[in-house]
Amino acid sequence: MKGFAASILVLLAAAPASAGAADEPATLFARGAYRRAAAAAERVLAAAPTDASALVVLARVRAREARLDDARELSEQAVKAAPSSADAHYALAEVSGMRARAGGILRGLGPARTLKREAEAALAIDPSHADALNLLIQFHGAAPGIVGGDKKQAAALTERLLVADPARAWFARAQDAMREKDSTRAGECWRKAYETETQGARARVNLASWLAQTRQDIPGAERLAKQATEIESWRIGGWQVLAGVQAHEHRWTELEATFAASEAATGGRREAWHTAATQLLLEKVEPARAERYLRYYLEREPEIGSFSFAATHWRIAQALEQQSRVPEAVAELKVAVKLDPKFEPAKKDLKRLKG
C-alpha cells in the first residue's frame, strides 16, 4: 500500500477521554467539538460572566483559532475568578505556550516563563494534573535554560505522568519517536499505551492508525478502529481509520456506510470523507471519486484544527491534475493560496503547474 493517509495520530494523542453531560462545554471540548464547546461556553458566560470552567473552555478554543489575545484575556479572567482551579492555571499555561511559539525567540520569552509558572501552579493544586505534567515535559524538553528549561526535569516529570496517566505518557513518548522518525520505537509506545488503556478508545485509535500507516497489520487496524467507534462513537479518529482502510481496499458500499455512521455519531463531522479522498489520491486511483468526497467536505465548515479549506482545495487540485484537468487544478490552487498565503504545498504546486 502506497502512503497510507497519516493525518490522524498527532491530533488523537492529545485528546483525553471525557466525562460529564454531553452538552456541557468541558465535555464538548474534551471530545474535540470545539465550535459547539465555544457556543456552549458563551451561553454559560452570558448568564454567569465569571464562571471559571466556561472561561477555561472558551480560552482554549480561542487559542486553537489563533485568537491568542482573546485567549490570554479569557484565561487570565479564569485564574482571577478561580485562583484555586488547576484547570484555570493550566489554561493560562497552555495559551502562553502557544503565544511563545507564535512570538519567536525574543517575543516568546515572557510567555514561556508564564507557561512554566502557571503549569507549576496547576501542579501545586493538583499534583496529578496530566495536562500540566505533559505541558511541562514538553517545555523542559525544548526550552532553553534562560527561561527555565531543564531536560532532567523533563525526565522526572515523565515518571510522574506515568503514574498519573500511563497511556498519556506513552502517547507522549510515541510522538517523540515519530518526530525523531523512529517508527519502531513509536510502535512500541503505541502498543504500551494500548496495553495500559484497556477500556478506552484513545489508544485503540492511535495504534490502529499506526498499524495502517506503517502497513504492518491492516486487518488489525480495522478491527481496533471498529472497537473504538463502538466504545466512543463520538471520537472521529476511529471513523477516519475505517474510511482510510475501506478506501484503500475499494470497499465502496462499506465506505458509504462508514461515512453515514460517522456523521451521525459526531454531529455531522466529515473528516472521514477527507481521509478517504486523501488515501485515494496518495494511491493515485479513483481521482474523480476523491474529488467528489472533497467537494462534499467543503459544504460544511470544518471543526477547528481539522483539515482546512485551503488544504482541501489543494487536495482537489491533486484530484483534478490526476484527471488531466490542469487549468481547473490551477484555479483550485489559486483558491488555496488565497485562503492561506502561507500554505507552502499549494504554492509549490501552483508554481509547478504554471511553469
Task: Specify the number of domains making up the chain.
Answer: 1
Of 101, 74, 79, nearest to 90 (Cα)? 79
Per the domain annotation, does 178 fall within a domain?
no
Per the domain annotation, does 132 fall within a domain?
yes
Task: Report the C-alpha dihedral over residues 24, 27, 30, 34, rounded to 10 degrees.
Answer: -30
Domain containing residue 98: 18-164
Of 45, 349, 11, 28, nearest to 178 (Cα)? 11
Per the domain annotation, does 354 fall within a domain?
no
Q: Is the pTM of this model over 0.85?
A: yes
Per the domain annotation, does 241 fall within a domain?
no
Per the domain annotation, does 219 fall within a domain?
no
Per the domain annotation, does 37 fall within a domain?
yes
- Grid coordinates standing for 43? 451561553
Per the domain annotation, does 46 fall within a domain?
yes
**Going residue by residue through the chain (355 aa), what tens digit of pLDDT does each one get?**
445 554 444 334 444 544 457 789 999 999 999 999 999 999 999 999 999 999 999 999 999 999 999 999 999 999 999 999 999 999 999 999 999 989 876 577 899 999 999 999 999 999 999 999 999 998 998 888 888 888 888 889 989 999 999 999 998 888 888 888 898 999 999 999 999 987 789 999 999 999 998 888 999 999 999 999 999 999 999 999 999 999 999 999 999 999 999 999 999 999 999 999 999 999 999 999 999 999 999 999 999 999 999 999 999 999 999 999 999 999 999 999 999 999 999 999 999 998 7
Per the domain annotation, does 65 fall within a domain?
yes
Of 135, 243, 146, 186, nearest to 9 (Cα)? 186
The residue type of 158 is T
Report the CATH number that the domain containing residue 151 is assigned in CATH. Answer: 1.25.40.10
